[in-house]
Every structure is written in C-alpha cells, then in structure tokens.
Amino acid sequence: MKIIDISMEISSSIITYPGNPSPVIHQYARIPEQATNESTISIGSHTGTHVDAGLHVLRDGYDSGMIPLENMYGRCRVLDLTRAGSEIEREHLKSLDIKKGEIILLKTENSLKQYETFRNDFAHVARSGAEFLVECGIRTIGIDYLSVKKFNADNDVHELLISNMTVYEGLNLVEVSPGSYTFIAFPLRIKCDASPARAILIEE
C-alpha cells in the first residue's frame, strides 16, 4: 500500500486566488520562554486544497459542515487531461467511461506548470464539460488548481457543479499517475462556505 499526499502545504508563501488573504501563522508562545509552543492560524476558507460548499456561490446553499461524508471518501479515478489544453470540454471527457457515483479527479496541464506564483491561464472545466459531468451523475469532482472555473468568468460552471456534486479545488496531482485509487479528503467540520482539507490517495 502506498499513501500519496495530494494536499498543498499551507504556509505564508502559498499561492492564493487574487483577492483571497494569505495565511498568517503567528507563534504566541515559545519554548523556553513558555512551557509550550503555540500559534494562531488565520487562513481564508479557500486556501490551498479545499472543498467548496454550496454557500460559496449559492445564496441559500449548504455549508461545508453539511457535505455528505461519503463524498469525501471512496474509490476514485485520476483522469489524464494534460493534453486537453486549458478548457476541459465534453469532448475530452466523453470517451473516459465516467460512471454514475464516481469520484473523479482531473489531472490537467496545471500539473505540468509551476505553483509558486498565481497563473490566470490555469486549466478549468468549460460549460460543456460541467454539463457532461452532471449528466454522468458523479458524486465528487476534484481539480489541480485553485478554481474549477475559468479565471474571472461568471459563476455558471461553479454553480452547476456545486449544485450536483462535491467540489474539491487545489489538489496537488503533480506526482500522481492516472489510474484508480482510494480517495480520502476530510475537511474541518466548519459552518462556512468552504474548508481546507488534507487530501490523500491510497494506491494498493
């Protein structure tokens, strides 16, 4: 059994989506001056690897504490879309035998580029691709950048996906080969529009 960490490490230098705050980790107690080391952590709800809740883009959407646990764990497939370009369309997905109830992670050209500075040309799911995933009836989708939709685009793709499945963003799939795995990515139980998550794949 091999465990692969597909989470982005949270630090003050992590890339963030424009307009989102950078994490602040402040150590307020320090050995030997105090008996223990302790810190405060301030991060945006969409920092690094995270799961979106309906509340993120829907006025009356569900919060992150209401996401079904079964959508955070189970067999998944990592799909190789590194040659699909920046727009993941229906035509890129329809030959991949996507089945109802699956957990699907999209490894795109994002995984072939750098993660040190934010890029607004990141690969994303196009409207036709989102409609196809909804038609397939998958339960969870994950992508290898900070948003599932095009940079600065309308929220229609985001709304469509989040209304029909659980959405993970900010997965680190750089070292992951396409194939089948067990997916585990539990966020904190927070009543919020999103929550950072520790995501792993288990290869057996």
Q: What is the pLDDT of residue 136?
A: 98
Alpha carbons within 13 A on the beta-carbon side of 142: 33
What confidence tens digit (pLDDT) does each residue in 172-195 have? 999 999 999 999 999 999 999 999
Position 73 in a domain: yes
pLDDT given for residue 60 in this prediction: 87
In a domain, 37, yes or no: no
Query: Does a structural domain hold residue 76?
Result: yes
The domain that holds 179 is classified in CATH as 3.50.30.50
Whether 24 is in a domain gets the answer: no
What's residue 59's pLDDT?
Answer: 85
Q: Residue 202 corresponds to which tokens in the numbers above? A: 């288990």
To the query of whether residue 50 is one of the catalytic residues in this protein, the response is no
List phi, psi (to 5°) of 196: -60, 150
The one-digit pLDDT tens for each residue of the chain (204 residues) are 999 999 999 999 999 999 999 999 999 999 999 999 999 999 999 999 999 999 999 888 999 999 999 999 999 999 999 999 999 999 999 999 999 999 999 999 999 999 999 999 999 999 999 999 999 999 999 999 999 999 999 999 999 999 999 999 999 999 999 999 999 999 999 999 999 999 999 998
pLDDT at 104: 98
**Residue from 99, 197, 85 nearest 142 by CA:** 197
- 145 lies in some domain: yes
- Structural domain including 128 reads 2-11+44-203
Helix (H) or strand (E) holding 18: none
Of the listed 56, 92, 124, 158, which one is catalytic?
56
The rounded distance, in Å, linking the Cα atoms of 198 and 196 is 7
Report the number of distinct structural domains present in the chain: 1
Residue 20 inside a domain? The answer is no
Whether 176 is covered by a domain: the verdict is yes
- In single-letter form, the type of residue at position 150 comes to K
